[in-house]
Amino acid sequence: MEKTVIDIEPAASVLKLLGDKTRLTIIGLLKDGECCVCEFVEVLQMSQPSVSQHLRKLRDAELVKERKKGQWVFYSLNSDHDAFLMIEEILTFIPEQKEKLSELEKKGLRICCD
């Protein structure tokens, strides 16, 4: 994929969205594939409405896509976004988040979403 220059204002908007611990963790989790809302709630140890509201911001900015399957909604990174490469690059600087998901599995809490 070709590296695109992102204007200051949209770039700042994306960075602002990433500039929140919760959302940065969400994006970090999505690096390794899609997740459903209930997984975020478990991993982040936050209320469901709070998580939903963060996801809405990310979706409004089109940083993530949603896929509905049954009663679940799966979120994933939107690789078509202008800032996708920048986000991927940023994610190389933060710790792997998928470990949190495997811990979930150990606890048997990743029961939903299949």
Binding site for DNA (CB under 7 A): 16, 20, 22, 36-38, 41, 46-57, 66, 68, 70-73, 112-113
Nearer to its own copies, 10 or 33 (CB): 10
Out of 1, 2, 8, 114, point to the residue binding its own copies (CB under 8 A): 8
Q: What, of DNA, its own copies, none, does residue 45 touch, CB below 5 to 8 Å by kind?
A: none
Task: Count Cα atoms within 13 angstroms, Cβ side, for 23.
Answer: 19
Q: What, of its own copies, DNA, none, does residue 43 touch, CB below 5 to 8 Å by kind?
A: none
Taking phi over 0 as left and psi of -120 to 50 as alpha, with beta for the rest, 96 belongs to beta
95 binding its own copies? (CB under 8 A): yes
Q: What, of DNA, its own copies, none, does residue 11 touch, CB below 5 to 8 Å by kind?
A: its own copies
Among residues 25, 30, 22, 32, the alpha carbon closest in space to that of 53 is found at 22
